[in-house]
Amino acid sequence: MTQSMSDAPLRLGVNIDHVATVRNARGGRDPDPARAAMIAQQAGADGLTVHLREDRRHIVDADLPAIMKAVSLPINLEMAATEEMRRIALGLRPHAVCIVPERREERTTEGGLEVARDDKRLREFIAPLREAGARVSLFIAPDEAQVEAAARVGAQVIELHTGSYCLHCADGDDSARDEELRRLFSAAALGKDLGLEVHAGHGLNFENVGPIAAIPELVELNIGHFLIGEAIFVGLEAAIREMRRHMMLARM
């Protein structure tokens, strides 16, 4: 078996936040994220991701129950480790909660969570979420110390940040891209060894997804911005199906 082959099916989680970004540019109800959720389900998405940011710039509180009612797919709620967000998660009881770092001035989630330096607080933050039945994931850089810390604080899942890899794909720096890919491969292997389920995401598109989808320990990719952008040209269903095809090809 070569390194790029895996028997594990690779799930696709579709992040529909940016449907809300377009809606919020005008106010009102259109386009409706719950409708996007239904189309993603029809297109064969395995799950949906929504990021309720502190400033509510994408999805807003009322979107969450509407999306959960519209589909039967598992919902992955991305959120910062704040009391307000935990209260919302405990009320909604989504399938999974992915804890991300959040800064108001950033355009997107720029870095991974600093788990190693914040382990006591995170352990206490995670415990009630797990008790309520949520699968808790931490969004981290592909860094050995962070993977080990994620296992220590009681996360069941890690999501590896692919943003740097994607940036190097775009800027044509092949050696930096390969180095980042190497870090992703070894973080995924370590995560699995430590008993964690390993996901990845951020910045993925048709061109750069192949080498990531080929990492054998990965069981889920979460992809948003590119798919919603591509949907403008080909429709959301076609964009999701094409992404799935690229992921499948990488696993063959």
| Binding positions for ligand PXP, rule: CB under 6 A | 15, 17, 51, 78, 98, 100, 108-109, 139, 159, 201-204, 222-226
- Whether 202 is catalytic is yes
- Whether 18 is catalytic is no
Q: What residues contact 52, with CB distance under 8 A and at least 6 apart? A: 59, 60, 61, 64, 77, 78, 79, 85, 88
In the complex, what is the shortest distance from the CB of residue 75 to ligand PXP, in angstroms, rounded to a whole number? 14
In the complex, what is the shortest distance from the CB of residue 87 to ligand PXP, in angstroms, rounded to a whole number? 20
The nearer residue to ligand PXP, 6 or 109, going by C-beta atoms, is: 109
Asked if omega into 9 is within 30° of 0 (cis), the reply is no
The nearer residue to ligand PXP, 146 or 222, going by C-beta atoms, is: 222
Q: Find the catalytic residue in 18, 202, 217, 220.
A: 202
In the complex, what is the shortest distance from the CB of residue 139 to ligand PXP, in angstroms, rounded to a whole number? 4
The nearer residue to ligand PXP, 142 or 203, going by C-beta atoms, is: 203
Q: Find the catalytic residue in 18, 58, 78, 102.
A: 78
In the complex, what is the shortest distance from the CB of residue 111 to ligand PXP, in angstroms, rounded to a whole number? 10
The nearer residue to ligand PXP, 41 or 222, going by C-beta atoms, is: 222
- Whether 54 is catalytic is no
Instruction: List the catalytic residues.
Output: 51, 78, 202
